[in-house]
Structure 1
Amino acid sequence: MSPAPFDKSVRLQGRNILLRAATPDDADFVLALRSDAAKTRFLQPVQADLQAQRDWLAKSHADPRQLYCVICTPDGERLGLVRLYDPQGDSICWGSWLIKDGAPASTAIESALLVYLHALALGYRRSHFDVRIGNDSVIRFHTGFGAVEQRRSEQDIYFSIGEDAIRAALHKYRRYLPAGAMP
């Protein structure tokens, strides 16, 4: 059985944040974060063009094979971005993860946990992703969750994490999740 496609109406509720599908109306926020050179030095550059960003978000929103999310407070303040994409069998990639300055300290870990909870709920049992060499804090974050390096290129380290490690991380960091959220 293949994992389910992404439902763009889903709202993933955490303890302090929620994830919702990004829409073209979020283009200004996405462009502002994606144009921050310090935050995006390990990501693909984007055009500083608001209409191009709106068009990309509309295309992304229509694609059932990816879910580009805005990380928000429950009252709607936008805190960051994260994307699930590139399904390969029972594995999903996630990344494009950016959190604005001043966001609560728990935003990163809580958003990662929500990504994994949602992936498991959809039928994904593993995750694959790459991190740019030199992005040491993100590498430490992922290896702390149990991700294992698979290979390297000149610029990236390719990781995978299996269901057992994902579930162990969800259990270890459950204090960041709402009651009853554990699968």
Structure 2
Amino acid sequence: MVYDGVLEGKYVDLRSCTEDDAEFTREIRKDPEFVKFLPAIDNTLEQQKNWIRHQREKEGDYFFVVWDKEGNRIGTISIYDVNGQHAESGRLAIKSKNPFQALEAQILSFRFAFGVLGLECIDGFIFADNDRAIRFNQQFGGRHYPPAADEEGREIIRIENWREDFEAVDKKLSSILYRKRK
């Protein structure tokens, strides 16, 4: 689906992905930094454009490109499989040395899911050996469950992010993220 607005932050903005983003989204999913923990894609530019067209029409799926404040694409993030009061969060791939950008992208996506879409819970799934992503996700107040094997035998950790838990940590994270710096 398409969100017509821009989710604006201090460090990044989130905009619905368009066909113009096809090459960027295709390349980021081929980046060795990300393919270890995201399903790799091996498609043509035209296939990626078709996937984006389909994604923009798919009910309950929101795929955003993350832009820095200089107007550069730096990543992707999604809220998808919206089903009643639940959805899944994922496809987070940010190429930035500024940790505030990834943090703010996740905050903006959760604010969108809980505030705009009115969801109550967002599930996330992380490979158990992705220590960096696990540490990153612990900041958001989610409930982590013991690893379980997926279809390919890889251990996956499920995280439930509930609205009330996120609202509590959002205030804390925002005070750190948006405090005045000297």
TM range (shorter): 0.7 to 0.9
Equivalent position of 1:96 in the other structure: 91
Equivalent position of 1:67 in the other structure: 62
Equivalent position of 1:3 in the other structure: none
Equivalent position of 1:169 in the other structure: 169
Q: TM-score, structure 1 length as denominator?
A: 0.86
C-alpha displacement of 1:44: 1.0
Are the counterparts in 2 of residues 91 and 128 from structure 1 also a CA contact under 8 Å?
yes
Equivalent position of 1:136 in the other structure: 131
Give the gaps of 5 or more residues in structure 2.
none
Report the number of matched residues: 172
**Counterpart amino acid of residue 87 in structure 2:** I
C-alpha displacement of 1:61: 1.0
Equivalent position of 2:44 in the other structure: 49
Q: How does 1:77-92 map to 2 (within 5 A)?
A: 77-92=72-87
C-alpha displacement of 1:54: 0.8
CA RMSD of aligned residues (A): 1.8
Are the counterparts in 2 of residues 79 and 103 from structure 1 also a CA contact under 8 Å?
no
Query: Which of 79, 91, 104 is the aligned partner of 1:110?
Result: 104
For 1:171 and 1:125, how far apart are their aligned partners in 2? 18
Q: Which runs of 4+ in 1 moved over 6 A?
A: none
Are the counterparts in 2 of residues 14 and 177 from structure 1 also a CA contact under 8 Å?
no
Equivalent position of 1:9 in the other structure: 4
For 1:108 and 1:150, how far apart are their aligned partners in 2? 23
**Counterpart amino acid of residue 160 in structure 1:** E
Q: Deviations over 1:52-94 (max 9, x none)?
A: 1111011101113111000002442111100110113212211
Equivalent position of 1:120 in the other structure: 114
Identity percentage of aligned residues: 24
C-alpha displacement of 1:177: 5.6
For 1:7 and 1:51, how far apart are their aligned partners in 2? 20
Task: Determine whether 1:150 maps to 2:145.
Answer: yes
Relative contact order: is structure 1 or structure 2 higher (C-alpha 8 Å, sep ≥ 6)? 1
Are the counterparts in 1 of residues 22 and 52 from structure 2 also a CA contact under 8 Å?
yes
Q: Deviations over 1:130-179 (max 9, x none)?
A: 1012011111121232211235322211110212210012111114369x
For 2:146 and 2:56, how far apart are their aligned partners in 1? 31
| CA separation of 1:177 and 1:54: change in aligned 2, threshold 3 A | farther
For 1:48 and 1:60, how far apart are their aligned partners in 2? 16
For 2:63 and 2:171, how far apart are their aligned partners in 1? 25
